[in-house]
Amino acid sequence: MKSLKTLGQFIIEKQTDFPYAKGELSRLLRDIGIAAKIVNREVNKAGLVDILGTVGDTNVFGENQKKLDVYADEQFIAALKDGGECCFVASEEQEEGVELTDAGISKNAKYIVCIDPLDGSSNIEVNVSVGTIFSIYRRISQVGEALTQEDLLQTGVRQVAAGYIIYGSSTMLVYTTGKGVNGFTLDPSIGEFCLSHPNMKIPQQGHIYSVNEGNYLKFPQGVKNYIKYCQEEDAATNRPYTSRYIGSMVADIHRNLLLGGVFIYPQTALQPKGKLRLMYECNPIAFIIEQAGGKATTGTERILEIEPEELHQRVPAILGSTDMVNKVLEFLDKS
Ligand code: P6P
């Protein structure tokens, strides 16, 4: 019988990948796993308890905050605070972010976490998969000094770890520390994330394209031409492709990571910088996609090399199977 390997065991085992590591990153990943289990419990019963509906407040973008968004944000921040390894949390739900250095054990913490606590939350009440996306950086300033903008706005290539949790038909945690991508499925009977998808690789080519075609008329011409290309009959290139779009980034990305595909959220006339956020959606997902052998670009530059200008910055995103991303770039270049 195949031996069971929990997330905790795996993290410790992989700690030897980082000779300088003294366990802080391992403990930080453990803390995120704990919060994920707590959020999972509430997501799974969201339809049963009065946890849906808006808090009445709105988040920094004027969107109604659903109670589960707020709950997830609170759980991850609390777990990071109690764990003592994180000095600052940048969250979609927090306009300025949360500094933890004055919280006792976190004052010597070396890591910064950017997080989308519950991405795709508009899907909660229709029971469609939602997710958490996280990105981890090492602080640049010295412990004990004040945190700087340089600490908080680092390029994606400086991530030390990134991952997502998908609360779907099963709950999975998928992460990378720059040495490949591994997936863990939550076994509710023992309350542990167990290694289920070791060394995940995205197929070089696929036949799924994921884009909100409701925005078609507002897309750049190159994206319109690519969508038409996907819809043309051509047995030699496995077309027409299949359109699959859930509207929950983690769910769309996870499916394409497993089966191959391309996810496109381009700039539009209404959203000239795109909709997805760089620091806690695109950078962590781009790190995972590249580590799995795929490609992640805005259409003009590698996502992981973007110099961030502000915490909630938006960027266009074309992510997934390398050959498919390159085909989108071909159409963008031609147009
Ligand atoms: P649209 C969810 O709100 C989200 O941030 C991502 O999870 C998702 O990919 C995207 O927005 C969906 O946006 O405009 O297609 O509904």
pLDDT, tens digit, for every residue of 8-33?
999 888 887 776 667 888 899 999 99
pLDDT recorded at residue 59: 59
Point out the domain boundary residue: 176, 197, 218.
Answer: 197
* Residues 120-164 pLDDT 10s: 988 888 889 999 999 999 999 998 888 999 999 999 999 999 999
pLDDT-based confidence at 45, cuts 50/70/90?
Answer: confident
Q: Is residue 301 part of a domain?
A: yes
Instruction: Report whether pLDDT(104) > 90.
Output: no
Residue 254 CB less than 6 A away from ligand 1: no
- Say how many C-beta atoms besides its own lie within 10 A of residue 47's C-beta: 12
CB 70 within 8 A of CB 55: yes
| Residues 218-242 as b or e (16 or more Cβ within 10 Å = b) | ebbebbbbbbebbeeeeeeeeeebe
Top pLDDT among 101 and 27 is at 27
Give the DSSP letter of residue 127. T
pTM value is 0.93
Domain of residue 26: give its range: 7-197
Instruction: Report whether pLDDT(51) > 90.
Output: no
275 Cα: distance to centroid of ligand 1 (angstroms): 8
Q: How many domains does the chain have?
A: 2
Query: C-alpha dihedral over 153, 296, 251, 172, to 10 degrees?
Result: -70
Q: Is residue 202 part of a domain?
A: no
Question: Among all chains, which residue has been given the structure tokens 């946890």?
Answer: 51
- Say how many C-beta atoms besides its own lie within 10 A of residue 50's C-beta: 7
Residue 212 CB less than 6 A away from ligand 1: yes
Tell me whether residue 43 is exposed, middle or buried, using C-beta atoms within 10 angstroms of its C-beta: 0 to 12, 13 to 18, 19 or more.
buried
* Residues 197-236 pLDDT 10s: 999 999 999 999 999 999 999 999 999 999 999 999 999 9
**What average pLDDT does this structure show over 288-304?**
98
Does 180 lie in the same domain as 325? no
Residue 271 CB less than 6 A away from ligand 1: no
Does 221 lie in the same domain as 185? no
The verdict on whether residue 119 carries a ligand-binding annotation is yes
pLDDT recorded at residue 281: 98
Give the mutation target among 122, 265, 270, 315 for probing the ligand 1 site: most ligand atoms within 8 A of CB. Answer: 265
Does 323 lie in the same domain as 224? yes
Type and span of the H or E element at 54: strand 54-58
Does 218 lie in the same domain as 87? no
pLDDT-based confidence at 63, cuts 50/70/90?
Answer: low
Does 227 lie in the same domain as 176? no
List all residues 6 or more positions away from 307 whose beta carbon is below 8 Å from its beta carbon: 153, 155
The verdict on whether residue 92 carries a ligand-binding annotation is yes
Q: Is residue 2 part of a domain?
A: no
d(CA 72, CA 75): 5
